[in-house]
Amino acid sequence: MRHAFDPLTLGYDWEMAVLRPSGENVSEKDVTVLSDELRRKLPWAETGTDLELLESRIGTMRSFEEALDKSRRFDAVLADDLKRRDWGLLRAGARPFQLAPIGAHIHERTVRSARDAIAVQNGMIRYTAPLVALTVNSAVYRARSGQYKSYRVASFAEGCSAPPAVYRASMSQWIWGTDVNAKHAWGSTVELRVADCVGPSRLMCELMALVAGMMVHVAENEYGRPVTERTYREALLNRWSAARHGLQAVFQHEGRRIEAASLLTDMVEMAHDGMELLGASASDLRLIKQMIRKRQTQADFQLALLELEDNDPYRFTRTLMNVQRDRRAFARYLRTAPTLPPIDPEDHDAFVLGLIEIETPYYVILRGTPLGPDALDRLLAGFLKRGLVREERTSFGDRTYTRVRDAG
């Protein structure tokens, strides 16, 4: 057994949008004043700002109960301050009309060495997609809906959360911005960056415990396990399916077909020993287990509210903000929500082909697929060989592709 974390502790950077009753953002100055007030009242919360977002950075926590207690106390003070100003809070992975996505970054520390941190980062690659499926919460994005349950993940969080590469400890530098990030500049931490902003504080704490448990499992049972090309490709395509379908997704995982919900059920068991170090157990994951059982997510909650508002994203924004004033709204939704069916994975190659129109730039296709450039190059070469597309060059030598409509 390898103890990579000593001690195992929890933390998060939890971004939230502060809105006026109309659903518009308050000013960046307003957010700064609010964060200053919260720091004075709750110094340990380390509240700050990220652009015009409020960011709770509750410090290092040593147990699940401590995380619950501090998160609830922060919620209560924040709710009073917002009520006094007649502002609302939007805890979603994106504001429907702003470009910047909103995340929940979960920190598990303290990692004993850079080598251990990179081993955990590599090992978590195969488990990133089910965590995406569990946390999808940006079903309305730039006034669009219907294609993804997490537009934030599908867009790589506008460059702030990209699928991680596989690293070798002896030839790696610290980098920023991947889904799972080994960090050393501010303490030895492995950070999960891929999660959309979380609504209920209870769910946030459950997620922290599950992620911690999984990282301990990877460190103790899968240390140094190689990430093969097949495993990596599966992880990328599963990430895409999870962003599209949430807990309804069906994955290819280690060569076998498995529902996202079933894989997460297995992960709850895998996480047992790590969660126990935090005074938590599977029975504490009340919301997560109910979500898994019904394949329901925060994004499905959003879509239900969007339908009630006749698919009007402006009204939806105000409604979601007002509904989230009740910290138990999502839990109540889960109790009566139907169980959703699994959705078989789409043909990814056909999806990529559908992105190609007339002189479609290469970078547009790359943005639309979870695959890396080398894998995409091979896929496009196959399209060319089959006569499905034509490759052309701009005057600067950049590649474009045109679909051959009558091919085949």
Q: DSSP letters of 227-259? A: --HHHHHHHHHHHHHHHHHGGGBEEEETTEEEE
pLDDT value, residue 38? 97
Say if CB 162 and CB 369 are below 8 A apart. Answer: no
Domain ranges of the chain: 5-336, 348-403
Tell me the β-bridge partners of 259. Answer: 250
pLDDT value, residue 2? 58
Fold type of domain 348-403: Arc Repressor Mutant, subunit A (1.10.10)
HSE-CB of 262 using CA atoms within 13 angstroms: 11
What ranges make up the beta strands (E) of 266-388?
A: 360-361
The CATH code for residues 5-336 is: 3.30.590.20
- What pTM was estimated for this model as a whole? 0.95
pLDDT value, residue 1? 41
Tell me which residue of 296, 12, 259, 19 sits closest to 134, measured CA to CA.
296
pLDDT value, residue 188? 81
Average pLDDT per block of 10 residues along the chain, 408 residues long: 81 95 94 97 93 90 97 96 96 88 93 91 96 98 93 92 89 88 82 96 97 96 94 96 98 95 98 97 98 98 97 95 96 97 94 96 93 95 97 95 81
